[in-house]
Amino acid sequence: MKIVVSGASGFIGSAMVPFLATGGHAVTRLVRRRLEAKGGEVRWDPDRGEIDTEGLEGCDAVVHLAGESIAAGFWTARRKARILESRAEGTQLLAECLAGLSMKPKALLCASAIGYYGHRGDEVLREDSPPGTGFLAEVTRAWEEATAPAEKAGIRVVHLRLGIVLGSGGGALAKMLPAFRLGAGGRLGDGKQYMSWIAIDDVIGAVHHALEAQDLAGAVNVTAPEPVTNAVFMKTLGRVLSRPAVLPVPAPVLRLAMGEMADEMLLASTRVVPALLIGRGFRFRYPDLEGALRHLLGK
Span of 132-141, 176-185, 287-296 with lowest mean pLDDT: 176-185
DSSP, res 6: E
Per the CB < 8 A criterion, the answer to whether 11 and 69 are in contact is no
Per-residue pLDDT reduced to its tens digit, 64-116: 999 888 887 789 999 999 999 989 999 999 999 999 999 999 999 999 999 99
Q: Is the pLDDT reported for residue 233 higher than 80?
A: yes
* Torsion from C-alpha of 135, 137, 143, 145, nearest 10 degrees: -130
Predicted local distance difference test score (pLDDT) of residue 241: 95
Between CA 100 and CA 96 the distance in angstroms is: 6
Asked if the model's pLDDT at residue 37 lies above 60, the reply is no
Separation CA 255–CA 126 (nearest Å) = 29
Is residue 147 helix, strand or coil? coil
Buried b (16+ CB within 10 A) or exposed e, 176-208: bbebbeeeebbbbbebebbbbbbbbbbbbbbbb
Q: What is the chain's Cα-based Rg?
A: 19
Kindly report, residue by residue over 150-183, the tens digit of the pLDDT.
999 999 999 999 999 999 878 899 989 999 988 8
The reported pLDDT for the residue numbered 68 is 83
pLDDT confidence bin for 38, thresholds 50/70/90: low
Structure confidence by residue, pLDDT tens digits, 234-264 = 999 999 999 988 899 999 999 998 999 999 9
Quote the pLDDT of residue 110: 98
* Residue 60 to residue 66: CA distance in whole angstroms: 19
pTM (2 decimals)? 0.94
Domains of the chain: 2-297 (3.40.50.720)
Instruction: Tell me the pLDDT band of 298, cut-offs 50, 70 and 90.
Output: very high
Q: What is the DSSP letter of 188?
A: B
- Amino acid letter for position 80: K
